[in-house]
Amino acid sequence: MSPTPSNETRASLPQAVAAGTLALFQAIALILATKFLLLLALSGAFWLANEAMEHRDAMSLSIVVAYCVLTIGPLSWLYVKGK
């Protein structure tokens, strides 16, 4: 004859499953949020580069370089360090 689980064990099992599921969804959301921010930054960089190529002056080029160094660089570093 096998022992039957107590009421406390039965009640704690759904709570443990819910906590594990919540932790999994939080991890997935964090990864997707980082990737989405990186995608937005890269699309903004491409748009700025396109605008800089149309105007072709030193100020446009310096803006693109500053954007890439100050935005895409740190986001990429955070994405790589987060893994």
Query: pTM of the entire structure?
Result: 0.55
pLDDT digits (tens, 9 = 90+) for 39-81: 888 888 888 888 888 888 888 888 888 888 888 888 888 778 8
Domain edges within the chain: 7-82
Element holding 20 (H helix, E strand): helix 7-55
Question: Higher pLDDT residue, 6 or 81?
Answer: 81
Name the maximum alpha-carbon separation found in the chain.
85
pLDDT band at 8 (very low <50, low <70, confident <90, very high): low
Q: Is 83 in a helix, a strand, or coil?
A: coil
